[in-house]
Structure 1
Amino acid sequence: MSSLKSEVSNIKVTPWQHICHNLLAEVDIKINGTRPFDIKVHNNSFYKRVLKDGSLGLGESYMDGWWDCEALDEFISRIMKADVRSALSRDVKDILRIMSAKFFNLQSRNRAWIVGREHYDLGNDLFSLMLDPWMQYSCGYWHTAEDLFQAQENKLRLICEKLNLVEGMTLLDIGCGWGGLASYAARNYGVKVTGITISQEQKKLAEECCKGLDVKIVLQDYRDLNMQFDRIVSVGMFEHVGPKNYEEYFHIVCKNLKKNGIFLLHTIGSNETSINVDPWINKYIFPNGCLPSILHVAKASEPWFVLEDLHNFGNDYDKTLMAWHDRFEMFWPEIEDKYSERFYRMFSYYLKSCAGAFRSRNIQLWQFVFTHGIEGGLRVTR
């Protein structure tokens, strides 16, 4: 017994490890503990790396296999609720990213196509297996839904009802993805849809999805739009617009929406009005993305629109992301020969960490409904 005590006392605890232990203890997370949300550290360089590099170091060290966590989503939720990440020092490169987002237009015409190439063009095989039959890569509406497929169909119906679609109307879908909403609206409401995307892979699949329907899919930047539509919708695209372009974005939507038209904006949002650029997400998942705040949207839309309705169902994104992760895990054996182990860890970390962020209520999901000012107001569906 005495020799065991001597051996334990000789284990060296670094200052980095001591700091991490104390920070995590504040949210009841143990290093190498036994609960699902405790983390297992495999490389002691983890502590210094995460304290120096913050969010980027946490994500990259997970990709490198330096640590694991069974309930990664709950781990992230706990540290975000307690704002543990703000206690971690920011790497100089992270500071430069935030400064560059503040002073430079990272979502300019030339840079806007980067996210299409680096994320949405990853492979239709991956997204086809992970998503629902409508290929909805945005938050489902889980009110009355018991599974992902129903939640996404609920979301599509909710959007179409909020837009008050009537047969014969024209609908513009800005950032149409793989054409699921365009297809749903054309099939079920008899509208003529124009969808625009900046992803070659999305355009190909969207055209297949909408074959035989009154739908046109165009590879185009939203800044080049110059038509008139009865209704305009944008789902999961505004996160890529960037603060430097918010006012121009609303001006363009205003210019393309008919006098009695309705515009629905579906976007992830931040509780804080700042340059919301997570360095890991920016580097590995959505380059040049930035989450808007309520103030961002209000200021940019004020000259052009009347806000008729604001609906927050951000908690549903937690369920959506976890459902995607379950399907990603289920179908991984079918596609793993096309991707690396590091990609698998990256994508799994992305889905579960984002679920944890929504669970902590650190970020939200909003649907805004705008008009030019309809006389008598607008009764909006829930």
Structure 2
Amino acid sequence: MKGIYSIAQESQHDSQYLMGKAFLEQADIQIEGSRPWDIKICHPGFFKCIMQQGLLGLGESYMDGWWECERLDIFVYKFLSGQLDEALPTHLHDILKFFSAKLLSIRSDESNFKRGHNDYEIGGDIFAVMLDSYMQYSCGCWRQASCLNEAQTAKLDMMCEKLQLTPGMRVLDIGCGWGGTAEYMARHYDVYVEGITDSTEQQKIAQARCEGLNVTIMLGDFRDPFDDQFDRIIALGTLQNIGLKSYQTFFEWVANCLRPDGLFLLQSIGSGQLVNHIGPWINKYIFPGGCLPSGEQIIHSTQLYLHIEDWINLGEDYDKTFMAWEKRVNTAWPELRHHYSPKFKRMLDYYLCSCAGFLRARKLNMWEVVFSRNDAKKI
């Protein structure tokens, strides 16, 4: 195999190479440069691939080892800040229109990440090393934190304070994951928590985690009949899984489950544009059928049922969270690499670093919104 430098030398007079070189330099990205965000071309078909296939080609060519970059997160940030995304045949900003990526559905071979000839879903080993002790697969709060555990604990405290939790309250956790949020609220705020998940594996883990606490973990989702009402409701990263057509149904269901004086906290990745689909790379490898809300869509879908009490953007915090996840995965990879292919690892790096880059360039936001019922007395 020819080295990176040899391929670049042979491509100097190729029109696609020269055009691609000039294209990237508009965003202060060099080919064969020495800076961490500069890229190295390892395959002569790289530029043709991205010009023909857009963002899908960009992601797949990285997975195939056609180009290298020491700091993918900075590369994506530079690319977007230079507005190069608007020049691709399929806009690059679609790459990360996602945010609660369901890695449990990812496979591990060249086509759909199967390992060998057997289906291989990601096990809990990656999540166990990537996430914090409370298994929070959502944004941390880094204002006074120096590590991931501190950031996620600060996020949980901030969320509980916004919800004004007091002992004895009934809390509904929609999409409760591995039960870390439910455990934290029950243990530190003495509330009763009911968690809902659509994963039998997560239900078992959450039940074991919350054993002995005033917590119930149920299997189901918001489409199931539900007659109870709660003092507080939370949904962390749930909205991206629902789909635009179900937004109003979801928020109406939340309002019906919320007591008249209750509060609902929503945390969701959001886009500044109206988006009802997800980019082809993310759709193929990370999040099939994903959809990101815009602020306008959230407001339109909630105005009949809920009143906005507070809305903040935690995009900078989520950028840092993704980079912390990437660092933890790479630190632990020597122990994990025997279970996953090199191509899978490149896919995981691309996902985590690209998300950070999009948040840093403010192409995506991380919103935390607190609602009350629109027929309730405002706080």
- TM bin, normalised by shorter chain, reads 0.7 to 0.9
- Are 1:203 and 2:190 counterparts? no
Match of residue 38 from structure 1: 38
Contact 1:46–1:67 (8 Å) recurs in 2: yes
Once the 2 structures are TM-superposed, how far is the Cα of residue 122 of structure 1 from its aligned partner? 2.1
Match of residue 20 from structure 1: 20
Once the 2 structures are TM-superposed, how far is the Cα of residue 182 of structure 1 from its aligned partner? 0.4
Tell me the secondary structure at the aligned position of residue 207 of structure 2: helix
Contact 1:81–1:362 (8 Å) recurs in 2: no
Matched residues in 2 for 1:143 and 1:9: separation?
46
Once the 2 structures are TM-superposed, how far is the Cα of residue 144 of structure 1 from its aligned partner? 1.1
| Matched pairs, number | 353
Matched residues in 2 for 1:182 and 1:274: separation?
31
Matched residues in 1 for 2:44 and 2:202: separation?
42
Contact 2:103–2:286 (8 Å) recurs in 1: no
Once the 2 structures are TM-superposed, how far is the Cα of residue 69 of structure 1 from its aligned partner? 0.1
Tell me the secondary structure at the aligned position of residue 370 of structure 1: strand
Match of residue 297 from structure 2: 296
Identity rate of aligned residues, in percent?
45
Q: Normalization by structure 2: what TM-score?
A: 0.88
Match of residue 61 from structure 1: 61
Match of residue 77 from structure 2: 77
Once the 2 structures are TM-superposed, how far is the Cα of residue 221 of structure 1 from its aligned partner? 2.1
Match of residue 372 from structure 2: 371
Tell me the secondary structure at the aligned position of residue 273 of structure 2: coil
CA RMSD, Structure 1 to Structure 2 (Å): 2.4
Matched residues in 2 for 1:313 and 1:297: separation?
17
Match of residue 105 from structure 2: 118
Worse overlay, 150-159 or 215-224? 215-224
Matched residues in 2 for 1:312 and 1:233: separation?
17
Once the 2 structures are TM-superposed, how far is the Cα of residue 374 of structure 1 from its aligned partner? 7.7
Contact 2:372–2:378 (8 Å) recurs in 1: no
Worse overlay, 290-299 or 224-233? 224-233
Tell me the secondary structure at the aligned position of residue 327 of structure 1: helix
Match of residue 165 from structure 1: 165
Match of residue 222 from structure 2: 222
Tell me the secondary structure at the aligned position of residue 222 of structure 1: coil
The one-letter amino acid paired with 1:85 is: D
Match of residue 140 from structure 2: 140
Tell me the secondary structure at the aligned position of residue 173 of structure 2: strand
Match of residue 127 from structure 2: 127
Match of residue 341 from structure 2: 340
Matched residues in 2 for 1:258 and 1:155: separation?
24
The one-letter amino acid paired with 1:118 is: S
Structure 1: where are the runs of 5+ without partners? Answer: 1-7, 102-113
Match of residue 149 from structure 1: 149
The one-letter amino acid paired with 2:159 is: I
Once the 2 structures are TM-superposed, how far is the Cα of residue 163 of structure 1 from its aligned partner? 0.9
- Are 1:306 and 2:293 counterparts? no
Match of residue 245 from structure 1: 246
Worse overlay, 193-202 or 39-48? 193-202
The one-letter amino acid paired with 1:304 is: Y
> Displaced runs of 4+ in structure 1, greater than 6 A?
none
Q: Deviations over 1:113-167 (max 9, x none)?
A: x958515962111101111000011110111111111110000011111111111
Once the 2 structures are TM-superposed, how far is the Cα of residue 48 of structure 1 from its aligned partner? 0.6
Matched residues in 2 for 1:150 and 1:10: separation?
50
Once the 2 structures are TM-superposed, how far is the Cα of residue 12 of structure 1 from its aligned partner? 5.4
Q: State how 1:269-284 maps to structure 2 within 5 Å.
A: 269-284=270-285
**Higher-helix-fraction structure:** 1
Match of residue 213 from structure 2: 213
Tell me the secondary structure at the aligned position of residue 27 of structure 2: coil
Tell me the secondary structure at the aligned position of residue 223 of structure 1: coil
Match of residue 90 from structure 2: 90
Match of residue 50 from structure 1: 50
Once the 2 structures are TM-superposed, how far is the Cα of residue 209 of structure 1 from its aligned partner? 1.4
Once the 2 structures are TM-superposed, how far is the Cα of residue 310 of structure 1 from its aligned partner? 0.4
Tell me the secondary structure at the aligned position of residue 212 of structure 1: coil
Matched residues in 1 for 2:360 and 2:10: separation?
40
Q: Normalization by structure 1: what TM-score?
A: 0.87
Matched residues in 2 for 1:14 and 1:225: separation?
62
Worse overlay, 263-272 or 10-19? 10-19
Match of residue 109 from structure 1: none
